Structures are given as structure tokens and as C-alpha cells.
Amino acid sequence: MEENLDAAIESLLNVEKQMRLAGDVAGTKKAVTDIVELCYKARAWKTLNDQIVLLSKRRGQLKQAVTAMVQQAMHYIDETPDIDTCIELIKTLNSVSAGKIYVEIERARLIKKLAKIKEEQGLIAEAADLMQEIAVETFGAMAKTEKIAFILEQVRLCLDRQDYVRAQILSRKISPRVFDADASKEKKKPKEGDNVVEEPPADIPSLLELKRIYYELMIRYHSHNDDYLEICRSYKAIYDIPSVKEDPAQWIPVLRKICWFLVLSPHNPMQSSLLNSTLEDKNLSEIPNFRLLLKQLVTMEVIQWTGLWEMYKNEFENEKNMPGGSLGAKAAEDLKLRIIEHNILVVSKYYSRITLKRLADLLCLSLQEAEKHLSDMVVSKSLIAKIDRPMGVVCFQTAKDSNDILNSWAMNLEKLLDLVEKSCHQIHKETMVHKAVLKA
């Protein structure tokens, strides 16, 4: 059987040589693929690997022949009898396609398959290192969705091995704007000389599915840093996907997460804008508890922490049973901190000066805790205040420089003179009217 195979391969190699030297592209491609197919049918996997290497190294080998051979052999990867044979074939094809720009897409797909096998074997670090070798963003002929799916796989493996710095670098290769592209628009026909973009394989998800995967990975990344506002924005992007918005079973858990992370985010203009836009969402009426929670944050009134926690404790703990998982161990402490910060901002709106004792009473905290939280807010520049510690008084008024004081005086004088002039005009008018009446 082996002798017959060797003889058949030898005769086909002679045909391949004649075709190659004659520059016959179609003939060379057919001879090469026939050799590969012959080895596959005979289940001679070692011979197949040897022939692939041999054919690729033949003098003046045509690019089209190498491409056809690699593509043909890739179909046999899933047909291999065991995992070792599979890995060996992938490695052979990978070594043949390395450094050849005309089979770069095939090489990327091979590396992806090999990384998946390594991951299934529990070698996540090795799988991540393999994937990082390929920079698909430079591949002109690869479909956009396949590129995004490949980069997302790189990001996922980095997150799995807890390499957060590299995960962030890789994620920046994808612009979020790419997911907003209108997929319904007809594809432009490539002009002459342009790169022809290959169709993505059938297992590559659609652009909207990739959008969801991207933001779920971003949530994983930002959760590591406890960056609540970015997590909230990622959930908001998932919430805006049409398939999610149409299904209440999907959007209710996402909207709950948006509300929680809005409350957990530090007070700043972005958080305030998101808070107000979320409150205008009609879907919020389906979860009235969360509408009330957000309403309390925008209302300039002091929130009692104990009452709020009693009301929302069950909802907070129930979050671990919802899609997306629990909010994390640190979230409960941060929630209390955000309520204290909200209360200090409310007090600063109503008071220009207040005793530290009264402030501590309003916040339901000890003097030391009230002073600490107030100092933290001043340091983070979310509040302007000064504490007179010997007197125990907090002053929320901003210190004005001499130019501001002079400007305010000048403005006040201008207003006063304007008022005097209007009064004089009114008196003169009344006098004229009375004189006219007396003469009559």
C-alpha cells in the first residue's frame, strides 16, 4: 500500500515539476492538491506533513500553488485521528505559511485553532502567547468581522491569564465606532487594483454580536480597576443593541446594572449626564425601585444611609443571581461612600458655613469620619471647602482674590447707579404729571 502511495506521489511530483517549470498555474495547483489529497485518502499523516514541506520548498514554487496546498490541507485538520496528529499538521502548515504574505489569513486561522487546542489543554498562557504573534489589523484581505473576532479572542485570553495591561493595549486596536457602521448598506464593488476582501468563515459572529462580546470583555477589564463609570458606559452600549432592547428578559438585568453602577460612580459631569439621560428612559418605569434610587440622587436632599440600605439590601444581594453576576465585595462600601459624598454636596448647596458637629449629625457620622470624608472630597477637587479646626467650623465659600472682589464692587456700583437713575426718572415723570393736573 505504501509502495503504491510512494509511486503515485513520485509520478505526481514529476507532473508538478513539468507544470511549474512551464509556468502553468492551474496545472501546478492541481498537481499539488492531488498529492495532498492522495496522502489524506491513504491516511498517511506523516507523509502528508513531509510532502507539504517538500512542495513548499521546491525551487521557484508558485505562490498560487502554495496557497491552494495550505487551503486544501486546512480542511483535513478536523479529520485527524488524534490531537497529536492534529497539532503536528497545524504546526507544519504554520511553518510553511510563516513569512508569506499571500497565506497570512490562513496562518492566522491556523494559530487560532492551535490556541484553542492549547486552551482546552489548560495552557492559557501558551495560547495567549501564540495569539499575540499575529497582528491581524494589518491584513488588508481579511474581513472586518473576522479581524474584530480575532482581536477579541486575543483580549479574552489576556484577561484569562490576568494580563490586564496587554488586554488594554489590544482592546485599543478596536474603535467602538466600528460597531455603529450600517450593515444594511450594500458593499462597494472593489475597483481594479484594490485588495479583494475574503468572506469571513461561517463561525464568525455578526457585527452586533461582536459588539456585545467587546463590551462584555471591557466590563471584565474595568471591573479589575473598579472603574464604575466605564462599566456603566459599557452596559449602556449593550443596552442600546436592538436585539437586547426588544427582549425584556435581556434589557431588565442590563438596566439594573446601569442604575447600580451610576450610583457607584463618583460625582462628575459625565456621571451627571448619564444619570439624567437614564432617568428619562421610559423602560425605567418597569423597575420602579431603581427609578426611585436615581431620583434620590438627583434630588438635593440628604439621604439617610440606614434607610436606603434596608430598602435596597435585598436588591443588592439578589444581583448575583442576575445575568452579569454580583457587583463585587467592594461595591457595598463604595455605595455608602457615594451616599456620604452626595450628602456633603447637598449640605454645601444649603450652607455657606456650618459647624463640624452639625455636619456630622446631618451625615450620621462621627466627627473624625465627617472630617475625613470632607477632606477627601476637597483633595479630589469635587468640592471647595475650608475647615477651621480650633473653631470647629466648615466654610464652603470659595476664597476670592482681589481682582474678583474689585470686579464685584464695580458691578454693584453700576447696578446702584442704574437704580438711582431709574428712580430719578420715575420721580421726574410723577412731578410732571402732578404739575399738569394742578394747572388744569
Mean pLDDT of the chain: 81
For residues 132 and 149, give the distance between their C-alpha atoms in angstroms, rounded to a whole number: 14
**pLDDT tens figures, 93-140:** 888 877 777 778 888 888 888 888 888 888 888 888 878 777 877 777
Pairing of strands 393-395, 353-355: antiparallel
Q: Is the pLDDT of residue 14 over 60?
A: yes
Mean pLDDT confidence for 427-434: 89
Least confident piece of the model among 32-41, 192-201, 247-256, 409-418: 192-201
pLDDT digits (tens, 9 = 90+) for 279-321: 888 887 888 888 888 888 888 888 888 888 888 888 888 777 7
In percent, how much of the chain has pLDDT > 90?
Answer: 3
| Top-confidence residue, 189 or 338 | 338
pLDDT value of residue 422: 92
Task: List the grid coordinates of 202.
Answer: 461561517
Mean pLDDT computed over 170-183: 78
Lowest mean pLDDT, pick from 9-18, 234-243, 357-366, 420-429: 9-18
Q: What is the pLDDT of residues 318-331, one digit of tens each?
A: 777 777 667 766 78
Q: Pick the closest to residue 13 from 47, 55, 42 (CA basis).
A: 55
Amino acid at 47: T
pLDDT at 376 over 50: yes
SS (H, E, C) the chain: CHHHHHHHHHHHHHHHHHHHHHCCHHHHHHHHHHHHHHHHHCCCHHHHHHHHHHHHHCCCCCHHHHHHHHHHHHCCHHHCCCHHHHHHHHHHHHHHHCCCHHHHHHHHHHHHHHHHHHHHCCCHHHHHHHHHCCCHHHCCCCCHHHHHHHHHHHHHHHHHCCCHHHHHHHHCCCCHHHHHCCCCCCCCCCCCCCCCCCCCCCCCCCHHHHHHHHHHHHHHHHHHHCCHHHHHHHHHHHHCCHHHHCCHHHHHHHHHHHHHHHHHCCCCHHHHHHHHHHHCCHHHHHCHHHHHHHHHHHCCCCCCHHHHHHHHHHHHHHHHHCCCCCCCCCHHHHHHHHHHHHHHHHHHHHCCEEEHHHHHHHHCCCHHHHHHHHHHHHHCCCCCCEEECCCCEEECCCCCCHHHHHHHHHHHHHHHHHHHHHHHHHHHHHHHHHHHHHHC
Residue 93, pLDDT score: 81
Q: Is the pLDDT of residue 191 over 70?
A: no
- Bridge partners of 358, per DSSP, are none
pLDDT, position 419: 93
DSSP lists the bridge partners of residue 394 as 354, 387
